[in-house]
Structure 1
């Protein structure tokens, strides 16, 4: 779910998981703004979010909730929001170097690329580490983009079919929780174009998992059934984690 972090009169979106620990959310903010975890206090409607608890412990936090961030340090707003990173934008035949803000959104990045490279925004698709930057309102750091990262620009063809990166085969390990098969480790090989739903069907057909409801986790984020492994940014050799439960997404 997406929440809004508010601090010093500024706000930005942050994607968090329903079961994500408060401490991991602070770590995301540290990565995004450079504010040390120990200098952060998060609160909703005056209730402080405690490091040792998960978001499940705070039912008042839902899609679109505004979370107040208090910085307990000598940092000034200009120190946080003036941070720049250097990145490379790769086209089919050339590269350009670009300096952007840490809080740059995917949309504003596309606008800069349009100005510098002349690429029509409506035909532009951006990829980082094999994953498309689909949500234009997300900050680029939410997609893992940092100093010296390379973003690849692909053009949608006139018939609106996307010129996507080639499919790769991935070697993965699916790890189950202690409540499922006593914490089993299941090695698999499959294409990165495979959807999460396809992966679940494969695990069911192999009779590895029971036909009960369960979710898959990649890098502390709940995976969407309709999206591919490539979309989730899954890389060769990584692990996916299985837990019992269901997710009700808010439209």
Structure 2
């Protein structure tokens, strides 16, 4: 699907994204094709800021939607206050990696270089490693629980201080991110049907006609209940094609349904998808795996 972007600097462009992309992944594509760093991007839709872990599939964003791109330039940190420190080094044969051993220090301010952002932050020698995560959260709005901090290939734990991890002015630290937890699917719609005197469902069993269109443009009409799950459409379609000997080609390798450019959940009803009488549902080859 294609999304349109209106940048605050008067620039407009289009980026192709997947149905299951997160906002973080869309920002990475904007960086790839238009050179705008991820940490300088804020995406808004209908005036609301979109969080990085939001999945397009669970939002109101559709093919052809227009997003506002607000870019912010991170000002370089002011130089730290002049602090005179004396470092006494003993003779050593090889440099030792950060070992997070416990010693005492004064809270001297040092500058750390964050990878992959390429920016510097100021922290105190007595500050815990969790302070680095808090600084990144302020810049990128990434949850602390998704971050892991490494220096020289060693993971630094939140409770250890900069001094205990042997970080000094100018040290480089690597920030890696765990994948976001996928949002929970919406609860199924429970429909209580009161039986009529004849044993038939009344208000919730409204019949309607829909059209199913193959990739070749062939159409077949089927009658369904608006309250039935989309999975019933698959059963009804295959039964009609099999019994009537129609030349309507169903993909042997599997297929799924698309309505108004959105993948349909087969355990949800037609009413939940807002399908109306006379609407067309398309067939796409393949299967839905849960990723873009």
State the TM bucket, normalised to the shorter chain.
0.3 to 0.5
Task: Provide the TM-score with structure 1 as the length reference.
Answer: 0.40
Larger helix percent: 1
Larger strand percent: 1
Report which of the two structures shows the higher radius of gyration computed on alpha carbons.
2
Task: Provide the TM-score with structure 2 as the length reference.
Answer: 0.35
Higher RCO by CA contacts (8 Å cutoff, separation 6 or greater): 1
